[in-house]
Chains A and B, each alone.
Chain A
Amino acid sequence: MLEGILQGLTTALSFYNLLMVVIGCLIGTFIGMLPGLGPMSIIAIMIPVAIQLGNPAAALIMLAGVYYGAIFGGSTSSILINAPGVAGTVATSFDGYPMARQGKAGKALTIAAIASFCGGTVGAVLLFGFAPALSSVAILFWSSEYFALMVLGMTAVAAFAGRDQVLKALLMTIVGVMLATVGESALHNAPRFTLGLMDLQSGIYFVTLVMGLFALPEALFLILRRGKGVVESDKLMKIENLRISKAEAKQMAPVIGRQSIAGFLIGVLPGAGATIASFLGYAMERNIAPAGDRKQFGKGSIKGLAAPETANNAACTGSFVPLLTLGIPGSGTTAILLGALIALNVSPGPGLMTDRPEVFWSVIISMYVGNLVLLMLNLPLIPYIARLLAVPRNYLVPFVLFFALIGSYIGQNNPTELLIMIGLGIVATIFRFTGFPLPPLIIGFILGGMMEDNLGRAIRRSGGIEFLWERPMTLALLILALILLIAPYLLDKLKIRERLMSN
């Protein structure tokens, strides 16, 4: 094995392959910044180029760079214009965008970059050390555990259920779950709630919903708001609004540490991935934070930004475990990567490490380099990217609208998507005026669909709901979800009592 690692090291550090890392990361991070073009479509576009390279190690190194580069860059549009282009960066906008609105766009981007870097690097270390051993983790979960995992992710909604907001947040979650049932599900051979419209048969397209929900109302509010830009230019450039202070770093560090590992493990599961990891990370950090920090979530919390950004990058790296060690793609993106490998006569699976050690190890090693490249590429650019928000709004509004429209049109080429998006945008604007929080809706939409599929399969498998208590792991995850929901309130109560006692 040591010989294989050395072989991988020399392959990864050859000039040619280092160039591939840089090219892949460059393309990934910049295209990833544009909402609407997710890693899957970018990689699909890059496949012919990668295959032309002819060398499987170089091809996979480049494509992997595109993949984690896109996740790295994907946070930019979430933070700056509240338009997450990929499901994995939706949770980033929950606290990233409020920070940007407070004039701390530069700081938010820096935190996102550092969190992404740490998540990706820790992920690469774990991949290097434990990939073969983790292949059994990848096939640990049945549908019943995935269902419990989605329930756990749903506890993220609590962050948006403030004092008199509980009912509103729950209501919005249910609306999200209902929207997820539109179209055909994996379980039923019949379309539901399509109103007879063919365009709704495949369901509501994720990017259309996000653009309609977040970006479109944002553009409208920009018009209604007084003042020139979103934030004053000099406020954006103030050094304390760019740099991370020592106190802030101290706050971030444990979050990043926990989420690098948790995110990676979630990523290893073929039925979960970066999106689930980011929501779970957000939910977990919110519910274990001390009372003061907890109130900040959803309003520009540093922890709330660092958690999903760390988790989604770590998960992206983790998703290489089932791909490389079992030959199973867990997501659309890794399915395309698998196709490329097979086309280059490499069969991913248990034999990869022994048959083609240079491919296996060089890809993993290239990920350390790639994450470093991404950090060096992104950090110097942050002050300039952040100044986008100082652009006068008569220029910024068309820009946001343009990206929202392009984002929902691009992968589908269906003009009706634009009408659906505008309709959703109008509804979302009304929700915002009346004080209904929108993040629970998107959480319900993303997790609800998967929750339903997995619940349905688990019931089919066991012929009833016995799996809820018969499968210990399912039970444990559900109890954990309950604890995460109740613990903050119990702890608060205990503290108040202690204070009363000591007085």
Chain B
Amino acid sequence: MFTIKKISRGTLTATLMLFGLLLAGTSAHAGPMIDKIHFIIPGGAGGGWDGTARGTGEALTGSGLLGSGSYENMSGGGGGKAIGYMIENAASNHGTLMVNSTPIIIRSLVGRFPHNFRDLTPIAGVIGDYAALVVKADSDLKNFGDLVAIYKSNPADLAVAGGSVPGGMDHLVVAMAFKAAGADPNKVNYLPFDAGGKAMAALLSGEADALSTGLGEALELAKAGEIRILVSTAGERIAEAPDVSTLVEQGYDATFVNWRGFFAAPGLPADVRQAYIDILGAMYDKPEWEAVRKRNGWVNIYNPGDDFVKFLEAQEKVVGSLMKELGFL
């Protein structure tokens, strides 16, 4: 069965109504909702963006919602080149969707991209993962409060590893959590690694005292009894991890979701935009999508249209003020 992690109640009702309409619609005419979509992937083959675009395309065409999909990997500038391409060739790219994720916010803020999401037409967030703070299974730390206590007494004593650069996502999550606990977010002794797996090895080797990572990545090792998840950044507990409590639950007002979603070229006609929103919304109902989702261990977080824009604006604000405080802006 599919699960939708709702961003707002309104979205959910709207989506359900939409599903009803779509089901009625598709049973009337068996043809696809859209004939062709060209997916632009801002990075090379085999990465997270690549998997999201190709997986979505596979589910859409496999379920008959989409006639055919084509894919183009456009590396360069950590994704900046593809964004520039979408903007410069907007008029000829109405049939194109570009995949992107949380870094578009972070990298636009630091000026790494000359553009930001407002220069594009946001379509919808489709999947995501929450962040988690973890320690080794034999650690004395039992909850986020214990971590805060050590941090407050001597921040240099607490080395926190993560799979992104300083000022990148994993670092921001720890800083955000400590800030919510009333501590100075600027003092985190952050050890940056170029991949999540290496950061995890540093936790197990004792080089790092704690690790900031994706909840999905942490769950498997927690099940195996190697690590303990202290807290997640979800708004409320999720079905896949019923035992993992959230920051909000432990009394700290902070949430964070690492999303992946689709953007279209600027100046896209409203009806075409709606068609893209509809086809992605209809996808969650299909067994073909469930197969792709399960294979990749993704969490459905459907966040379409104007809600997506509002969400992006809110995330930009939170991340921006945090980065300013940390001296990255």
Q: List residues of A whose CB falls within 8 A of some B CB.
A: 40-41, 44, 51, 138-143, 184-191, 198-199, 201-202, 270-271, 322, 326-330, 332, 334-336, 338-339, 342-343, 347-351, 411-414, 416, 453, 457, 460-461, 463
Give chain B residues whose Cβ lies under 8 Å from the Cβ of A201.
76-78, 80, 112
Give chain B residues whose Cβ lies under 8 Å from the Cβ of A336.
46
Cα-based distance from A67 to B14 in the complex (angstroms):
47
Kindly provide the distance from the CB of A211 to the nearest chain B CB, expressed in whole angstroms: 16
Give chain A residues whose Cβ lies under 8 Å from the Cβ of B46.
40-41, 44, 332, 336, 411
Q: Is the CB of A343 within 8 A of B295?
A: yes
A189 with B168: in contact, given A339-B296, A350-B224, A413-B74 (CB under 8 Å)?
yes
Contact with A along B194-220 (1 / 0, CB 8 A): 110110111011110000000000001
The answer, yes or no, to whether B45 is at the interface (CB within 8 Å) is: yes
A351 with B225: in contact, given A187-B166, A202-B78 (CB under 8 Å)?
yes
Give chain B residues whose Cβ lies under 8 Å from the Cβ of A138.
201
Give chain A residues whose Cβ lies under 8 Å from the Cβ of B44.
411-413
Select A186's contact among B80, B192, B200, beta carbons within 8 Å.
B192
Cα-based distance from A192 to B19 in the complex (angstroms):
48
Kindly provide the distance from the CB of A143 to the nearest chain B CB, expressed in whole angstroms: 6
Cα-based distance from A191 to B111 in the complex (angstroms):
11
Cα-based distance from A199 to B76 in the complex (angstroms):
5
Give chain B residues whose Cβ lies under 8 Å from the Cβ of A186.
165, 192-194
Cα-based distance from A463 to B191 in the complex (angstroms):
12
The answer, yes or no, to whether B186 is at the interface (CB within 8 Å) is: no
Chain B: interface residue total (CB-CB under 8 A): 49
Q: Is the CB of B191 within 8 A of A270?
A: no
Give chain A residues whose Cβ lies under 8 Å from the Cβ of B225.
349-351
A139 with B205: in contact, given A335-B195, A413-B44 (CB under 8 Å)?
yes
Q: Is the CB of B224 within 8 A of A327?
A: yes
Identity of the chain B residue whose Cβ is nearest the Cβ of A198 in the assembled complex:
B77
The answer, yes or no, to whether B64 is at the interface (CB within 8 Å) is: no
Give chain A residues whose Cβ lies under 8 Å from the Cβ of B193.
186, 457
Kindly provide the distance from the CB of B168 to the nearest chain A CB, expressed in whole angstroms: 7
A139 with B77: in contact, given A332-B46, A347-B220, A347-B223 (CB under 8 Å)?
no
Q: Is the CB of A461 within 8 A of B191?
A: yes
10 A-B residue pairings within 8 Å (CB atoms): A143-B207, A198-B81, A198-B84, A202-B76, A342-B220, A349-B221, A349-B223, A351-B224, A351-B225, A413-B75
* Chain A at the B interface: SS class: loop
The answer, yes or no, to whether B23 is at the interface (CB within 8 Å) is: no
Contacts of B293-321 to chain A: CB distance below 8 A: 294-297
The answer, yes or no, to whether B236 is at the interface (CB within 8 Å) is: no
The answer, yes or no, to whether B274 is at the interface (CB within 8 Å) is: no
Kindly provide the distance from the CB of B208 to the nearest chain A CB, expressed in whole angstroms: 8
Identity of the chain A residue whose Cβ is nearest the Cβ of B111 in the assembled complex:
A190
Interface centre among A41, A330, A461 (most CB of B within 10 A): A461
Q: Is the CB of B81 within 8 A of A199?
A: yes
Kindly provide the distance from the CB of A460 to the nearest chain B CB, expressed in whole angstroms: 6
Kindly provide the distance from the CB of A284 to the nearest chain B CB, expressed in whole angstroms: 24
Give chain B residues whose Cβ lies under 8 Å from the Cβ of A199.
76-77, 81
Cα-based distance from A158 to B223 in the complex (angstroms):
47
Give chain A residues whose Cβ lies under 8 Å from the Cβ of B165.
184-189
Identity of the chain B residue whose Cβ is nearest the Cβ of A187 in the assembled complex:
B192
Give chain B residues whose Cβ lies under 8 Å from the Cβ of A330.
197-198, 201
Kindly provide the distance from the CB of A219 to the nearest chain B CB, expressed in whole angstroms: 25
Identity of the chain B residue whose Cβ is nearest the Cβ of A456 in the assembled complex:
B192
Q: Is the CB of B221 within 8 A of A271?
A: no
Cα-based distance from A412 to B328 in the complex (angstroms):
29
Kindly provide the distance from the CB of A36 to the nearest chain B CB, expressed in whole angstroms: 11
Identity of the chain A residue whose Cβ is nearest the Cβ of B291 in the assembled complex:
A51
A414 with B294: in contact, given A201-B80, A270-B197 (CB under 8 Å)?
no
Cα-based distance from A185 to B192 in the complex (angstroms):
10
Kindly provide the distance from the CB of A452 to the nearest chain B CB, expressed in whole angstroms: 11
Give chain B residues whose Cβ lies under 8 Å from the Cβ of A453.
194
Q: Is the CB of A44 within 8 A of B45?
A: yes
Q: Is the CB of B77 within 8 A of A141?
A: no
Cα-based distance from A142 to B221 in the complex (angstroms):
20
Give chain B residues whose Cβ lies under 8 Å from the Cβ of A141.
205
Interface centre among B77, B81, B193 (most CB of A within 10 A): B77
Identity of the chain B residue whose Cβ is nearest the Cβ of A340 in the assembled complex:
B295
Cα-based distance from A44 to B189 in the complex (angstroms):
35
Cα-based distance from A188 to B171 in the complex (angstroms):
12
The answer, yes or no, to whether B3 is at the interface (CB within 8 Å) is: no
Give chain B residues whose Cβ lies under 8 Å from the Cβ of A41.
45-46
Contacts of B64-78 to chain A: CB distance below 8 A: 72-78
Give chain A residues whose Cβ lies under 8 Å from the Cβ of B194.
186, 453
6 further contact pairs, Cβ within 8 A, besides A414-B81, A461-B191: A187-B165, A189-B167, A198-B84, A349-B220, A413-B45, A463-B156
Contact with A along B17-52 (1 / 0, CB 8 A): 000000000000000000000000000111000100
Give chain A residues whose Cβ lies under 8 Å from the Cβ of B223.
347, 349
Kindly provide the distance from the CB of A328 to the nearest chain B CB, expressed in whole angstroms: 5
Select B224's contact among A184, A188, A349, beta carbons within 8 Å.
A349
Cα-based distance from A41 to B47 in the complex (angstroms):
10
Kindly provide the distance from the CB of A415 to the nearest chain B CB, expressed in whole angstroms: 10
Kindly provide the distance from the CB of B116 to the nearest chain A CB, expressed in whole angstroms: 15
Q: Is the CB of B207 within 8 A of A198?
A: no
Cα-based distance from A327 to B202 in the complex (angstroms):
13
Select A328's contact among B80, B190, B200, beta carbons within 8 Å.
B200
Cα-based distance from A136 to B328 in the complex (angstroms):
37
Q: Is the CB of A414 within 8 A of B207?
A: no
Kindly provide the distance from the CB of B2 to the nearest chain A CB, expressed in whole angstroms: 17
The answer, yes or no, to whether B159 is at the interface (CB within 8 Å) is: yes
Q: Is the CB of A414 within 8 A of B84?
A: no
Give chain A residues whose Cβ lies under 8 Å from the Cβ of B205.
139-142
Give chain B residues whose Cβ lies under 8 Å from the Cβ of A328.
197, 200-201, 204, 221
Kindly provide the distance from the CB of B247 to the nearest chain A CB, expressed in whole angstroms: 24
The answer, yes or no, to whether B110 is at the interface (CB within 8 Å) is: yes
Q: Is the CB of A412 within 8 A of B75?
A: yes
The answer, yes or no, to whether B226 is at the interface (CB within 8 Å) is: yes
Q: Is the CB of B207 within 8 A of A191?
A: no
Kindly provide the distance from the CB of A250 to the nearest chain B CB, expressed in whole angstroms: 40
A457 with B84: in contact, given A189-B168, A322-B201, A349-B224 (CB under 8 Å)?
no
Q: A-B pairs with the 8 shortest C-beta distances?
A: A349-B224, A198-B77, A189-B167, A44-B46, A139-B205, A186-B194, A413-B73, A329-B197
Cα-based distance from A234 to B197 in the complex (angstroms):
51
Identity of the chain A residue whose Cβ is nearest the Cβ of B200 in the assembled complex:
A328
Q: Is the CB of B197 within 8 A of A335?
A: yes
Kindly provide the distance from the CB of B103 to the nearest chain A CB, expressed in whole angstroms: 11
Q: Is the CB of B295 within 8 A of A51?
A: yes
Cα-based distance from A44 to B47 in the complex (angstroms):
9
Cα-based distance from A453 to B194 in the complex (angstroms):
9
Cα-based distance from A334 to B45 in the complex (angstroms):
16
Cα-based distance from A191 to B44 in the complex (angstroms):
19
Select A413's contact among B72, B201, B295, B297, beta carbons within 8 Å.
B72
A327 with B226: in contact, given A142-B202, A186-B165 (CB under 8 Å)?
yes
Q: Is the CB of B73 within 8 A of A139?
A: no
Kindly provide the distance from the CB of A91 to the nearest chain B CB, expressed in whole angstroms: 22
Select A270's contact among B198, B220, B226, B295, beta carbons within 8 Å.
B198
Kindly provide the distance from the CB of B196 to the nearest chain A CB, expressed in whole angstroms: 8
Q: Is the CB of A461 within 8 A of B159?
A: yes
Give chain A residues whose Cβ lies under 8 Å from the Cβ of B77.
198-199, 201-202
